[in-house]
Amino acid sequence: MSSSDLQAPTSTTIATASAAAARKKPFALRQIIDHVVLIAGSLFMLVPVLMAFFTSSHTDVTVHTNGLQMTFGGHLAENYYEAMLVPGGFTKTVDGMRMLMNSFILGIGFSVGKIIISMLAAYAIVYFQFRFATLAFWAIFTTLLLPLEVRILPSYEIVQGMGLVNTYTGLIVPLIASATGTFFFRQFFKSVPNELIEAARIDGAGPVKFFIDILVPLSKTMIAAIFIIMFVFGWNQYLWPTIMTTDESFFTLVRGIKQILNVFIGAQIPEYGQAMALAIVAMVPPVLVVVIFQSWFVKGLVESDK
Amino acid sequence: MAKVVIDNVRKVYPNGTEALSPSSLSIEDGEFIVLVGPSGCGKSTLLRMIAGLEDITEGTISIGERVVNALDPAERDIAMVFQNYALYPHMSVYKNMAYGLKNRGMPKADIDAAVQKAAKLLHIEEFLARKPSQLSGGQRQRVAMGRAIVRDPALFLFDEPLSNLDAKLRNQMRIEIRKLQRELGVTSIYVTHDQIEAMTMADRIAVLNTGKIEQIGTPAQIYHTPASIFVASFMGAPPMNILDGHYNGNGGLEIKDLGHVAVDHTLEVTGDIQVGIRPENVEIHQAEEPHTIPIKVDFLEELGAGRLLHTTIGNTPFIAHLDNEHQINGETVFAHLPARALHLFDASTGRRV
């Protein structure tokens, strides 16, 4: 027994001891439950990705005969080389790098376009009192309920009529109107204090200057958040690019994966290894965008006070 | 430096409410004028019309010799300090102060000189690289002042700039703002709901109530000869005691529940009168003397520098200020209301008579 045990316990030691005892049991149980749930969730998410990665290191024959693989095969480099650098498809003109670039153009064009258009729309709705502003907002807002698929035929008709089939413009521009983005920016702009606008007016900032010098920097976190969502959304677009681009040199990664699996030339086995390799490649940029922009996003949230 | 003339300015909002009845006010070059009144009295509306942030419904405002009704805020040669500072959160202190000058197209070197000079004046040189979020309330207020000073305007506008600060800092900033304004000699209009700020800072005060200017005058004039019951009770802490009375025309004034008081001048009106007396003018005696009335001591409020005696006369609360030497024994004392300290107001119009 140590000497301290002989002393009368002070009120603080009693308090901390009883608090620790009270905390200990539910803490342990909760920890176990938390971890079980988290581990199960992570496995649920990660196993298919790992499976795709391992499968991408096997030959097509192994995959065709034995199904998806959970061990590392020896053909990683050649599958990725084939997928990325050797032209494939029907016309043998497009390789993985080209598709990666197309995906980037679509993803970035889509997200940046949406951010610009929706910021400008929200700016007009919030700061300029024009006739039917509320009506315009609600009209935009109700289109949230309509997915792209509803207007896909008329949109195609218009783009085709303008001769924009098989162009990046045709691929991107019809998609960049964004009710979601407009809505989020509207809510954000409404929270910007009026005094800031008045201070800017006294400082001689007109509408354009105020937008660029004050509003855009203030919206950094909103922009980062919307960029994350929209980049991933744009990157994963499938239906619209499928309809808009018939020329293989405009194919995106997401389409390319499908295309590889579709190719049955003669009696060949589908190129499973390459398809999995492309799938892994297609996954990396969105993950990077989320990781990088999320840290900006969090940083912005912590720093900003209006 | 400029004279500001507000000529019959009126503000009606689109929904029909009149925020400000036609009001006129002439502000001398270099003067520090305080607009004071309860919330909703139109003081901020008037300030915002001078700034150009609100349209002027009727009348004209001129700064210097220029009528500014149709000018943008940036063209009026004014600077404004806001209640919530309104600093741009994403810009450093330096950039906050430089922004207005940059928009005017001033050369970089001149901007730098102006910012450094203002920063030195306000003792914020060490914060120039920081963001507003890294500053305390008082420091932010200084930056907001700095942003106003660098513009070297003809007119400073202050919109309750101290109401977000704690009491100690407020007292300190009050003095600093006043000192700074004297040094710079810039005409200033200062809006507040705090009568102490108004009394201590102003060259002249304009008291507003329900969209009207009730009185314009120096702090002493406002305090000693309030033009209406509203001004009398709004300015001064604790407020002036107001009692009902009746004047019968021959120098005889009857105060309800108190009796007769002799007044040495004849009044132009007869009939119902409201009688005001400041707590510090009430004389309290321990024993009955001529012209005193007995009052019951409800309680004593200790102020340190003195005490406040609370009582009621009839049903009206009544406060008397006592200095520290004054001993109170027992529950009843005798009050004397000196005739020279009485303020008389017409009961129907509320104006001074």
Same domain, A273 and A124: yes
CA distance A193 to A168: 39
The DSSP code sequence of B80-111 is EE-TT----TTS-HHHHHHHHHHHTT--HHHH
Question: A301 and chain B: CB distance < 8 Å anywhere?
Answer: no
Same domain, A73 and A169: no
More confident residue, B281 or B260: B281
Distance from CA of B300 to the nearest CA of A (A): 42
Print the domain residue range for A255.
Answer: 95-304
Question: B89 and chain A: CB distance < 8 Å anywhere?
Answer: yes
Same domain, A280 and A242: yes
Q: What is the mean pLDDT of residues B219-231?
A: 94
Asked if residue A89 is part of any domain, the answer here is no
Task: Name the residue facing A217 among B73, B90, B104 (closest C-beta).
Answer: B90
Task: Identify which of B263, B238, B237, B235 has the alpha carbon closest to the alpha carbon of residue B251.
Answer: B263
**pLDDT-above-90 percentage for chain B:** 62
- B window 287-326, beta carbon within 8 A of A: none
Which chain B residue shows the shortest CA-CA distance from A221?
B90
Q: What is the mean pLDDT of residues B175-189?
A: 93
Residue-level pLDDT at A5 = 44
Same domain, A168 and A235: yes
CA distance B329 to B244: 29
Number of domains in chain A: 2
Same domain, A60 and A197: no
Backbone dihedral region of A39: left (phi > 0), alpha (psi from -120 to 50 degrees) or beta? Answer: alpha
Question: Which residues of chain B neighbour A200 with C-beta distances below 8 Å?
Answer: 88
Distance from CA of A123 to the nearest CA of B (A): 18
CA distance A176 to A260: 29
Residue B108 has pLDDT above 90, yes or no: yes
Bridge partners of B192, per DSSP, are B36
Give the domain-ending residue among A57, A80, A103: A80
Same domain, A103 and A239: yes
Cβ distance B89 to A201 less than 8 Å, yes or no, reads: no
State which amino acid sits at residue B274.
Q
Residue-level pLDDT at A90 = 62
Least-confidence region, from B26-30, B287-291, B343-347? B287-291
- pLDDT tens for chain A, 306 residues long, are 444 444 444 444 444 555 555 555 566 888 899 999 999 999 999 999 998 888 888 888 788 888 888 888 888 888 888 878 877 666 667 788 888 999 999 999 999 999 999 999 999 988 888 888 888 888 888 887 777 788 888 888 998 899 888 889 988 988 888 888 888 899 999 999 989 999 999 999 989 999 999 999 999 888 988 888 899 989 988 888 888 888 888 888 888 887 776 665 555 677 788 888 888 888 999 999 888 888 877 776 666 554
CA distance B56 to B70: 9
Residue-level pLDDT at A248 = 80
Cβ distance B72 to A214 less than 8 Å, yes or no, reads: no
CATH of the domain at A295: 1.10.3720.10
Cβ distance B89 to A205 less than 8 Å, yes or no, reads: no
Task: Identify which of A278, A282, A250 has the alpha carbon closest to the alpha carbon of residue A262.
Answer: A278
Which chain B residue shows the shortest CA-CA distance from A195?
B86
Same domain, A181 and A290: yes
CA distance A221 to A212: 15
Same domain, A27 and A174: no
- B window 37-56, beta carbon within 8 A of A: 51-53
Task: Name the residue facing A195 among B72, B78, B84 (closest C-beta).
Answer: B84
- A window 168-227, beta carbon within 8 A of B: 193, 195-196, 198-205, 209, 213-214, 217-218, 220
Cβ distance B133 to A304 less than 8 Å, yes or no, reads: yes
Give the domain-ending residue among A80, A115, A136: A80
What's the whole-model pTM score?
0.80
Q: Give the DSSP H/E element, type plus range, for residue B173.
A: helix B167-184
Please state, rounded to an integer, the average pLDDT across all residues of chain B.
90
Q: What is the mean pLDDT of residues B64-72?
A: 91
Same domain, A101 and A73: no
Best probe of the A interface among B92, B103, B149, by most A CBs < 10 A, is: B103
Count of CA atoms in the C-beta half-sphere (13 A) of A190: 9
Residue B269 has pLDDT above 80, yes or no: no
Q: Interface pTM (ipTM) of the complex?
A: 0.84
Cβ distance B89 to A213 less than 8 Å, yes or no, reads: no
Which chain A residue shows the shortest CA-CA distance from B147?
A203
C-beta atoms surrounding B123 within 10 Å: 11
Distance from CA of B12 to the nearest CA of A (A): 19
Question: Which residues of chain B neighbour A205 with C-beta distances below 8 Å?
Answer: 74, 99, 103
Residue-level pLDDT at A1 = 40
Same domain, A121 and A150: yes
Q: What is the mean pLDDT of residues B44-58?
A: 93
Question: Which residues of chain B neighbour A196 with C-beta distances below 8 Å?
Answer: 86, 88
CA distance A107 to A42: 26
Same domain, A128 and A61: no
Terminal CA-to-CA distance of chain B, rounded, Å?
Answer: 38
Cβ distance B89 to A305 less than 8 Å, yes or no, reads: yes
Which chain A residue shows the shortest CA-CA distance from B52?
A202
Same domain, A41 and A164: no
Residue B50 has pLDDT above 50, yes or no: yes
Residue-level pLDDT at A30 = 87
